[in-house]
Amino acid sequence: MTRIAVAGASGLIGSALVRSLTADGHDVLRLVRRAARSAEEVRWDPKACYVDTSRLDGCEAIVNLAGAGVGDHRWTAAYKQEIRDSRVLGTTALAEAAASLATPPRVLLNGSAIGYYGDTGSRAVDEAAPAGAGFLPSLCVEWEAATAPAHQAGIRTVLARTGLVVARGGGAWAKLFPLFKAGLGGRMGDGRQYWSYIALHDHVAALRHLLDQESVSGPVNLTAPHPATNREVTAAMGRVLHRPTLFTVPAQALRLVLGEMAGDVLGSTRAVPTRLLESGFEFTYPGVEQAIGAA
């Protein structure tokens, strides 16, 4: 049995990961922002850079998936600061806590995002590509840099650059299912922008794979092998849900409703999982229609 601490355990990915780990007999500690109510909880306050390190001794791994939802609110200056602080300050707290332990964990698996690359158009990018320009790329650069204390302490540090997670229970994709089921789904803008997606099942499997792969560190794209255009995603949603996809959301309407965040919806990031595949990972749902069907 392995003891693993998970921050962001109540989120879409975190809760699925905790279920998977506990089902296989691992001892999972969940980091919570209130007083711990059980032996399975550890108190932390990411904004205050506080972690109850006494409870982390004996952990072989720390997984950090915490962060305010990027698509939960309009991107006001205040909410952009909330997005940043929840990731950068939280990661700093955990990396410093891990480095301070008498027996540090063997791995820190920290969340990141393919937003690192910015808008790449039709050009495919892998982990060797540089950061793009804009709010999300600059955020991801800071987010990943915040793991430095763990890396400098000799802890294997993996940066999981997550794509769009295909799931009905949460995340951005969950908002699409009701629209398409009602027959109101359709392409966004011209539909030529690439969406780098991954099935929730494969995302959890990839995280567990990375926890065990001692030779892997640094950035790893958690996306399916073949990103799909928004037009292709729209057609696949229609086929899986047996609904028409006649509607189109004009780019100008998205900008009006979403503000700055519309650039992320209309932008194109064609990220491919080179390092994940090279490490021997095998996808269960590599195609977009397969991923939607499994959601």
Q: Which domains does the chain have, with CATH numbers?
A: 3-294 (3.40.50.720)
Instruction: Looking at mean pLDDT, say which of 146-150, 190-194, 264-268 comes out highest.
Output: 146-150
Over residues 7-30, the pLDDT tens digits come to 999 999 999 999 999 999 999 999
Residue 254 has pLDDT above 50, yes or no: no
Distance of CA 247 to the CA centre of its chain: 29
CA atoms of 61 and 101, how far apart (whole Å): 12
Residue 257 has pLDDT above 50, yes or no: no
Instruction: Looking at mean pLDDT, say which of 70-79, 229-238, 240-249 comes out highest.
Output: 229-238
Kindly report the average pLDDT of the chain as a whole number: 92
pLDDT-based confidence at residue 182 (cuts at 50, 70, 90): confident
CA atoms of 223 and 206, how far apart (whole Å): 10
pLDDT for position 252:
63
Over residues 56-95, the pLDDT tens digits come to 988 999 999 999 888 777 778 898 899 999 999 999 999 9
CA atoms of 111 and 227, how far apart (whole Å): 20
Tokens 């932390």 appear where?
A: 44
Residue 197 has pLDDT above 80, yes or no: yes
Which DSSP string corresponds to 165-191? Answer: EE-SSSHHHHTHHHHHHTT--EEETTS
Tokens of residue 181, six digits: 């089921």
For range 212-219, the mean pLDDT: 97
Q: Where are the alpha helices (DSSP H) in the chain?
A: 12-23, 77-100, 135-145, 148-152, 171-174, 176-181, 200-212, 230-241, 251-258, 262-266, 274-278, 288-294
